[in-house]
Structure 1
Amino acid sequence: MTTLLPPAPSGVPLLGCQTPRLRSVPPAVSSAGQETIELAASAGLDLDLWQQLSLIDALGETDQGLWAAFEMVEIVARQNGKGGIIEARELAGLFLFGERRIVYTAHLTETALDAFYRLLELIQSTPELDSQVKSVNTANGKEGIVLKSGQRIRFKTRIAAGGRGLQGDCVFLDEAMYVQPTMIGSLVPTMASRPNPQLWWVGSAVDKRIMPHGASFSRVRRRGIAGDPRVCLNEWSAPDDTDRNDPPMEAIAAANPGMGIRITVGFIRDEQGAMAPETWAVERLGIGLWFEEEDVPDVIDPEVWRALTGRMALTGAVALGLSMTPLAPKRPQVLSIAAASRTTDGKTHIEVGYHDTGVGAAAEIARLVAAMQPCALVINGNDPAMSLKPELLKLDIEPEAMSSSQMAQACGAFHLDAIGALLQHTGDPLLKGSLSVAGQRVMTGGGWAWTAIEPGADISPLEAATAAHWGLANFGDRALPPALPPVAVKASETPIVTGDLMSMGF
């Protein structure tokens, strides 16, 4: 039997805790939080102390004037007032920080619409801000505000097709419990081109029993708890060992900073009586049933991948594949070059033979092409490695550019060969590592493509190997120079040169 919350002892204020139980803040030399708080107040948005603290933490700045936190993770139970934090940050992005594009997203259309009209009301009720507005779009699915400066904010409902259309200086993922990994994989690389981006994850605790896409939110929470220097985490929650049936008032307060301000003990008491203890613990105490790392299956099981390690001799044509990591501030682009060839027992052997900066890469590729005489040099048409094409053409090398549909076919064929034991590799740690951070991004026209499930993760070795695998399947029968004799493949000991196939060219 559930025990309802007892009345508070006489003289004890029924106020929620204003500091989070779990808090991780990247080092910063200053914060734009106070300016944001003052701007919000001028628009009639008076923030609670806990809301102010979240903004001060999230808007810490480095000595170079960049956000100390690329990702802000705000976890708090519903009805406490998380929307006020978002609105204050949106106002600051438009009227203080000069951010050119801000995107707010939600899982539900009604949530996105409510967020749009709440911000619009704040702006229109403040003449100084409203005078800077050029236009307001209220068309269904196109809600947004444009300033005379050209800055804009859009409000969108998230869709399964991904996040490539959500590029912005600041992106909000409200109702973050429902963010699909495929969306993050396509969203984060697009933000890398922005000068000072920030990604906000805002939501309540995950219940993995009913939230199958809660793995993304769980993953960034784990990174925040671990002290990732680019993640700011504020979580209001009761301790995990709290009695779900008879929680002390301190536990309720720890999970509900808005208690006594915009949510009452009476409401919480009614909720507790109406819900099962486990559900109420997630929804109101913030004690989530979070995904652990082992709960999220790899696209290719590590044991299946390990079993593909082999040394069968190679023969016939060779195809090369290229992939490059996205351009990002303070992070050099890395180019991967992979090769594929047939084994004498009919499997496809893959290796990564180059994994280094893309500086001077065209000359290196030309050397490889001259040495290996590949049947094809393949690049995904949407890959950053396509930037090398003009230089390659000057060297009389014309790469095969895969379309989006062909990339989906390539990923599907690679996956099928892997689980069907029709691949061979040398145990290269580069491929193993990229597989461990790779997920599946749903393609608009059907099928899927590889995507990084961790922001900034390098999956270029896997993408290059997939391109080479596709190239061999589609161009391996082209007329070739006299075939090289079969060569034995040796297990990899280094991440750069991984076997005799690639060492012929390297």
Structure 2
Amino acid sequence: MRLSALLEPDADYEERDLPLGCQTPTDSLVPESAFSHGEDAITLAEYCGYDLMDFQRQGLVEKLGANMVEQRDGTLIERWAAGETADVISRRNGKSFEIEILILAGLFMLGERKIMYTAHRDDTALEVFNNVVAAIQRTPKFWAELDEAGPRRANGQRAIKLRNGAVCYFRTRTMDSARGQGYNRLILDESQSLTEEHLAALMPLVTGAENAQINYAGSAGGMRATIQAKLWRSYKKKERGLCYRGWHLDPDEDFDDLDKIAAVNPRLGRGLSYEFVAKEFSRMSRQDFGRERGGASTYPREEGAGWLVPEKAWARAQDAESAIASGSTPRYVLEADPQLERGTIGVAGRRSDGAMHIEVIDHEPGVAWMLERSRQLVTDHGGELWVDPKGPCGFMLGDLAEAGVPVKLFDADDLKNAWTWFYTNANPRPLPPEPGEDVDPDAPRPVPAPGVRHRGGKLMTQALAAAELRKLLDRHTLRRTVSTEVNQGPIVAPMLAGYAVGKSERDVKEPPPSPVRATGAEGRRTPPQRRTRRTRDVDVATTGF
């Protein structure tokens, strides 16, 4: 069901027929442990009046897993299986409950002497403090263990101190929000706003503690979420000692799909209103809704990360005179960013040497112009028009059919195969030695000519430099939305166009044109006339479209 359909005037549905929020994270990494204090923490939470959902119960069990570790002197000591835990989940899904229970368990069950809770905003820190105090007040046994002065609230120095000296501080993060060391637990709420400077000031707090744990909790982050981006990359690498639980959609997903939203919001239908979420979808921008409700992160790229196709390989594939051979059928692809702010038309076709020429021929604001331009290209120059029916331009299929423009469609496998084709042809591997060849181990192997050629247009190069991959089952393809917000149409469209050429050739068994050797000036191709309609930021030279 479409999320937007819930707000239509004639919407006819029963909430009992709508999907409930999924209790299992989409992304999970749990270190092995011999036992867990999680079940005891759940019992303590229920004793304090908490009514936990399945995902919260499982989260406590996984966070509080532990092992017995033998020390140098042969004695055994308890250690957390995860020295760091991270929960990344959309807002209003109850992550604060787990934080509050970790604080209560630390003070009243685990014997932790010093706990530090921090949040980016003061109202968040105040809310968690008040909730923990209220849970203690509901539990006479715990209230009796409080220091005689009771919870401290003065001057923003909030703290809960017990008679035995155990204490939990509640702070708003600053560059100087805490000092000292030997803390047993450091809780970093709103971790999407955690900075390098904050972490540098706070991490030393747990230095020297026998068995310390750091707990991160937040919603999906954007370009400024540098620490959360590192946690995500650590999860992808399956870093030892990290417990990661995340509810994420890919930034290219269809956020209007109610089933997908339910998959990343455990409380949907259990306290999180369907209508409220539908209103969020209608009011927010696509990117904001995807991040805040869909868990679609747009993290900054890792420092020093290279191009997906190495820059040197892309430069080697450049040919200022590259062009589609006469008689070769061009394939055009319509592309756009998910917000439909800019449309792109890419083209590809075989060169006279059999390599694939790719190019951007249009990159304009909006998408309304693409219908007439598509009709003109196919009418004046021939060729095939291709569209991804599930992509941003899929909505144009009906209009194209009414205009009499024939269209061929990509499928999900094509998107995966297109990236594999593009990467291997733009970045060919060195040739293996011939049988019996005398190989010099210090000499570089020869590399074949690239199977993809381009003219070095600024748009394609900038898009490729910022390109990122997204996973499709067991393979990858290019994202349409990247963290740097560089429009990806100028690389996605030519890539798909090049793949469409090969796919069409395989379907009709049409061999590529035979290589033609130029013999002097008479064999050279006359450069095409440039069209004056091009915008300033499209490729300077075109194939004449």
Instruction: Report the Cα distance in structure 2 between the residues aligned to 1:165 and 1:204, rounded to whole angstroms.
Output: 29
In structure 2, the partner of 1:4 is: 4
Contact kept in structure 2, 1:238 and 1:286, CA below 8 Å:
yes
Q: Residue 188 in 1 paired to residue 193 in 2?
A: no
List per-residue Cα deviations over 1:204-233 (Å, max 9, x = no partner). Answer: 00021xxx2x10111022112321111100
**Partner Cα distance (2:181, 2:262) in 1:** 36
- Name stretches of at least 5 consecutive residues in structure 2 with no aligned partner: 70-77, 307-545
Determine the C-alpha separation between the residues in 2 that align with 1:284 and 1:268.
Answer: 8
Distance 2:15 2:126 in 1: 42
Answer whether contact 1:239 1:287 (CA < 8 A) is retained: yes
1:197 maps to 212
Within-5 A mapping of 1:92-111: 92-111=105-124
Tell me, in whole angstroms, the C-alpha distance in 1 between the residues paired with 2:131 and 2:15: 37
Distance 1:238 1:262 in 2: 21
CA 1:167–1:249 in structure 2 vs 1: closer, same or farther (change >3 Å)?
farther
Question: How far off its partner does 1:78 sit?
Answer: 0.4
| TM-score normalized with structure 1 length | 0.55
Amino acid at match of 2:226: A
Larger radius of gyration: 2
1:20 corresponds to 2:25: yes
Amino acid corresponding to residue 230 of structure 2 in structure 1: R
Assess if the C-alpha contact under 8 Å between 1:14 and 1:265 holds in 2: no
Q: Is the 8 A contact 2:121 2:172 kept in 1?
A: yes
Distance 1:108 1:15, change over 3 A: same
The CA RMSD measured in Å over matched residues stands at: 2.2
1:39 shift after superposition: 0.2
1:38 aligns with 2:46: no
Tell me if structure 1 keeps the 8 A contact 2:182–2:207.
no
Matched positions, count: 290
> Separation in 1 of the partners of 2:305 and 2:194?
14
For 1:375-416, what per-residue CA distance to the aligned partner results, in whole angstroms no more than 9, with x for missing partners?
Answer: xxxxxxxxxxxxxxxxxxxxxxxxxxxxxxxxxxxxxxxxxx
* Partner of residue 123, structure 1: 136
Instruction: Select 2:232's aligned residue among 221, 228, 238.
Output: 221
The answer to whether the Cα contact below 8 Å between 2:114 and 2:184 also exists between their aligned partners in 1 is yes
Whole-angstrom CA distance in 2 between matches of 1:200 and 1:141: 22
Shift of 1:291: 2.0
User: Structure 1: which 4+ aligned runs deviate by more than 3 Å?
Assistant: 5-14, 161-167
Return the offset for 1:237. Answer: 1.9
Deviation string 1:69-108 (CA, Å, 9 cap, x unpaired) is 0100000100110110101111100111000011110001
Q: Give the Cα separation in 2 of the matches to 1:185 and 1:296.
A: 23
Q: Work out which of the residue numbers 34, 37, 48 in structure 2 matches 1:29.
A: 34
Alpha-carbon distance in 1 for matches of 2:96, 2:14: 31
The aligned amino acid for 1:242 is E
| Match 1:141 to one of 156, 159, 166 | 156
Task: Return closer, same or farther for 1:294/1:141 CA change in 2, 3 Å cut-off.
Answer: same
In 2 relative to 1, CA 13–265 (structure 1 residues): closer, same or farther, beyond 3 Å?
same
Change (3 A) 1:165 1:176: farther
Instruction: Confirm whether residue 179 of structure 1 aligns to residue 194 of structure 2.
Output: yes
**How far is the alpha carbon of 1:236 from its aligned partner?**
1.2
C-alpha contact (below 8 Å) 2:181/2:204 kept by paired residues: no
Compared with structure 1, are the counterparts of its residues 276 and 52 closer, same or farther at alpha carbon in structure 2 (3 Å cutoff)? Answer: same
Alpha-carbon contact 2:3-2:278 (below 8 Å) kept? no
SS at structure 1 position matched to 2:17:
coil
Partner of 1:151: 166
- 8 Å CA contact 2:183–2:207 kept in 1: the answer is no
CA-to-partner distance for each residue in 1:225-261, whole Å, 9 max, x for gaps? Answer: 32111110000122444113x3x22211121011112
- The separation in 1 between residues aligned to 2:205 and 2:189, in whole angstroms, is 19
Match of 1:377 in 2: none
1:231 and 2:242 are equivalent in the alignment: yes
C-alpha distance in structure 1 between counterparts of 2:304 and 2:259, whole Å = 31
Correspondence for 2:367: none
User: Shift of residue 10 of structure 1?
Assistant: 7.7
Deviation string, structure 1 residues 452-500 (Cα, Å, up to 9, x no partner): xxxxxxxxxxxxxxxxxxxxxxxxxxxxxxxxxxxxxxxxxxxxxxxxx
The answer as to whether partners of 1:239 and 1:251 remain within 8 angstroms in 2 is: no
Which has the higher relative contact order, 1 or 2, with Cα contacts under 8 A spaced 6 or more apart? 1
Check if 1:82 corresponds to 2:95.
yes
Residue correspondence of structure 1 range 456-467 to structure 2 within 5 A: none
Query: What is the TM-score when the length of structure 2 is the normalising length?
Result: 0.51
Residue aligning to 2:127: 114
- Alignment of 1:270 with 2:275, yes or no, is no
Q: Distance in 1 between matches of 2:295 and 2:181?
A: 29
Q: 1:40 to 1:11 in 2, by over 3 A?
A: closer
